[in-house]
Amino acid sequence: MENRKSLNKISYVFLNEEGNMLSPIYTKSGNLSDCKPVVSNNNVIWYVTGDKDRNLSFYIINEEGTFLTKTLNPVPEEGTVTLKPTLEIIVQPTSAPLPSSSVKVLPSSFPIVTPLPTIIPIPEPEKIPEVTLEPVIIQTAYPTSQSTYTPLVITPMPIPTPIPIPTPIPTLTPVPKKTPESTLNVLPETVYNDNIKDNNDSFIKLENGLKITDKETKAIYQINNIEKNKYVKYIKNTKHNIKNVTVPNSVKIKGKTFKVVSIGKDAFKNNKKLKSVKIGKNVKIIGEEAFSGCQKLKDVKMGKNITSIEASAFNNCKSLTKITIPAKVNKIGIKAFNNCKKLQYILIKTKKLTINNVGKDAFGNGYANPRIKSDKRVWKRYQDIFTSKGLSSEALFIINHVKLVV
């Protein structure tokens, strides 16, 4: 927190235990005092006295980041009584006014207000003597010896013995403490997916490049193009022993839906436990080495809108036995399926591949005699392309209605 006194401005920011920023830097009108701020009920509170008007100003920053101010006026004019939310008054009725020194003024933690009892007017019965009660006195910010107080005269119902009216104590419901939403040290992050409710964390500002972690699946997403199309990239998963992965169609962040359109570079690289992957329908790009070195990966289901399988995306996936290349794929990068020793069955639905958009050794060092199925209009061309890109010369191309897997 910083006080720019010459400009009457206060700048503050929220930090976590490691000193990392959890919020933007806020700037509000106000001043700090020489007194140390206090923390009460998750609120940061301090006060400042005015130089000329002797007003007493309280400043509050609550845990949602809201900045509040409260100003108390100087001593009221004679004959008036002003109620303030900062003091709790205990009044003991007597037959005659008591000196002001016998009035008990109990300080209360700001900003909790202890309400005074409500007095309901009663019709005056006949021949009821007047009873004078102790005046209700509120201590102001600057009491002076010249302050005077006028007793309050009330005509109550006949009461055999005067009974002190207790000051009602309000029942306070503690505000539940929010669970920290941050799961990474880089940026403040929160967790969302299609099945998780939005936590609506006011400290988080959605912007391009912000990384969001799903606390349930441990998947990390990066926001892109927030102004228009709203999509995210699947960056990685922090579970080291994860066996089955589903890359969702979309995620919901602060009430807004973001399509998952790509899988980032090295997203699952060298994951020793991963066995199966299901890729959502909105994913278009599988990044470089996304699944490289996943030696137990056996089952991959690609979404229908994938257009690009980048270099070494499935390199050295030695347990992979079959793969389907979706119909919109127009690029297979260098060594995309290199060293997939058990890749026996390849179903090619796309007709968009050429010698120029299939990379070197895309299918190098693979199965000795794999079976390839494609459209009968492109199989011959694909045979030449794939064998020139590392596919075994013993590969058998299948057309028409012959089953690929036997």
Query: pLDDT digits over 146-155, tens only?
Result: 444 455 454 5
Report CA-CA distances (Å) from 252 to 129, 196, 212, 255, 302: 71, 8, 11, 6, 22
- Kindly state the tokens that stand for 387: 């064998």
Higher pLDDT among residues 111 and 168, named by residue? 168
Q: Residue 80 — left, alpha, or beta (φ > 0 → left; ψ -120 to 50 → alpha)?
A: beta
pTM of the model: 0.52
Domains contained in the chain, CATH given: 2-72 (no CATH), 211-398 (3.80.10.10)
Higher pLDDT among residues 250 and 142, named by residue? 250
Q: Which of 59-63, 107-111, 265-269, 402-406 has the highest mean pLDDT?
A: 265-269
Cα dihedral 24→30→35→40 (10° resolution): -60
Lowest model confidence (mean pLDDT) among 36-40, 362-366, 383-387: 36-40
